[in-house]
Amino acid sequence: MNTHRLAVIPGDGVGPEVTASALTVLDAVEERYGFTTERTEVLLGADRYLDTGELLTEQDVTTLSGHDAILFGAIGSPRVTPGVLERGIILALRGAMRQSVNLRPVRLYPGVPTPIAGLTPERCDLVVVRENTEGAYVGTGSTVHRGTPAAVAVQESINTWYAVERAVDFAFRLAEERRRKVTLCHKTNVLVEAGALWLEAMEVVGRRHPDVETDYVHVDAMCMHLPVSPERFDVVVTDNLFGDIVTDLGAVVQGGLGVAASGNLNLEGSAPSMFEPIHGSAPDIAGRGWANPAGAVLSMALCLSTLGEGAAAAAVERATASVLADLPGLAGEAMGASTDEVAQRIVGCLDTMDETVLSAPSLMEQLAVVRAGMRDRA
């Protein structure tokens, strides 16, 4: 029997609540799909920081590195200056674990309310592959004459062939398992230097995948096309800043923060990948049992798929979709069920669910196949 070593970082606010739900569902699929997990809880976040001043220590990095994957809840607290925990823990983790790609499925599940009038699930099933290490977020730049009328702030965007080609390569590998289309989202008409490098990567990698169609969309036009005609997209590859923006738009299209999932992938297998719902710690609803656990549960499913448990992951996705379809609302009291009740319903659906609830093939199975390719490349 396969055993996967999982590090679990519940974090702050609703993080521990939705993570508990993800683990409830995980317990249930382990029994059914014949694998086990060994779990290590790692306490990072506001409480520890306020007690000890520690964010992410070298010891934490060593501990986490000894696992196959990381499940992450959410971090952030009104008791801590904004940015301290987010940069000191989340961004530090993505860097330390060399999680070079952020994967964000944008799938509208049946029955989930979307603000886009007339949008149907058949038309909305895409994946955004966001370069996760550089671009405008690399942290280079400086300010001179700060605080004076002569102040000059320089914030550079760094684009290396190494990172760009790696992200584009992953996008093509994923597209091979899907509808065989990769769209580059950038702003090549203005950011001509970075744009040329991304276009070249599309061309070079595209030659290795002649059966994959390529497309290009400027990021501003993307903000129009993604909500209005998401069916145009299969795999969208983009840089760190544009990816941050368009994935929030994608989350809105697919029903909001309660359902959106993500993975930060280490493509070389040199350290664990990390899976997290895209919402934050939601201090406004923490402690009430009102958080929607679907984003955390679907992130756990993404995790399973990269561990090679594609069938289990797809079952979790189908069960979650079944439950979402029956909820009267997606968040708060409108959900009509507590966080834990939603998790229990997902578990209940694992045995009884309608296999046809999702018409299109599951990203979860596709990712399990691509993952094999990821390791081969290393």
The residues binding Mg ion (CB under 5 A) are 244
Q: Which is nearer to ligand NAI, 22 or 182 (CB)?
A: 22
Nearer to ligand NAI by Cβ, of 18 and 253: the residue is: 18
- Please give the structure tokens belonging to residue 95: 């860097």
Of residues 283, 324, 328, 348, the one with CA closest to residue 16: 283
Q: Name the binder of 257 from ligand NAI, Mg ion, none, CB < 5-8 A by kind.
A: ligand NAI
Closest separation in Å from C-beta 164 to ligand NAI:
24
User: In terms of CB distance, is 42 or 199 closer to ligand NAI?
Assistant: 42
CB of 208 to Mg ion, least distance (A): 31
Sign, CA dihedral 284-287-290-293, equals positive
Cβ-based nearer residue to ligand NAI, 28 or 75: 75
CB of 87 to ligand NAI, least distance (A): 10
Straight-line distance from the first to the last Cα atom of the chain, in angstroms, rounded to the nearest whole number: 25
> Which is nearer to ligand NAI, 238 or 299 (by Cβ)?
299
Task: Using CA atoms of 45, 51, 57, 61 in order, give the dihedral in degrees to the nearest 10.
Answer: -40
Of 80 and 307, the one with the shorter C-beta distance to ligand NAI is 80
Q: Which residues pair with 262 in a beta bridge?
A: 276
- Decide which of Mg ion, ligand NAI, none touches 244; Cβ closer than 5 to 8 Å per partner kind: Mg ion
User: Of Mg ion, ligand NAI, none, which one does residue 276 interact with (CB within 5 to 8 Å by kind)?
Assistant: ligand NAI
| Shortest distance (Å) from residue 260 CB to Mg ion | 11
CA-based nearest residue to 272, from 59, 43, 70: 70
Instruction: Confirm if 277 and 74 have CB atoms less than 8 A apart.
Output: yes
Residue 86 or 244: which CB sits closer to Mg ion? 244
- Give me the least distance between CB of 330 and ligand NAI, in Å please: 7
* Helix or strand holding residue 175 (H, E): helix 161-176
CA dist., res. 18 & res. 357, Å (int): 24
Encoded tokens for 337 = 């069920």
Q: How far is the CB of 360 from ligand NAI (least distance, A)?
A: 25
Selection from Mg ion, ligand NAI, none that 99 binds (CB < 5 to 8 A by kind) is none
**CA angle (341, 346, 350) in 5-degree steps:** 145
DSSP classification of residue 237: E
Quote the CA–CA distance of 129 and 134 in Å, as a whole number. 14
Residues at the interface with ligand NAI (CB under 6 A): 14, 18, 74-77, 82, 86, 90, 257-258, 276, 279-285, 291-292, 295, 331
Tokens (6 digits) for 356: 């046809």
* 113 interface partner picked from Mg ion, ligand NAI, none, CB below 5 to 8 A per type: none
Partner from ligand NAI, Mg ion, none binding residue 284, C-beta < 5-8 Å depending on class = ligand NAI
User: Residue 72: enclosing H or E segment and its boundaries?
Assistant: strand 69-74
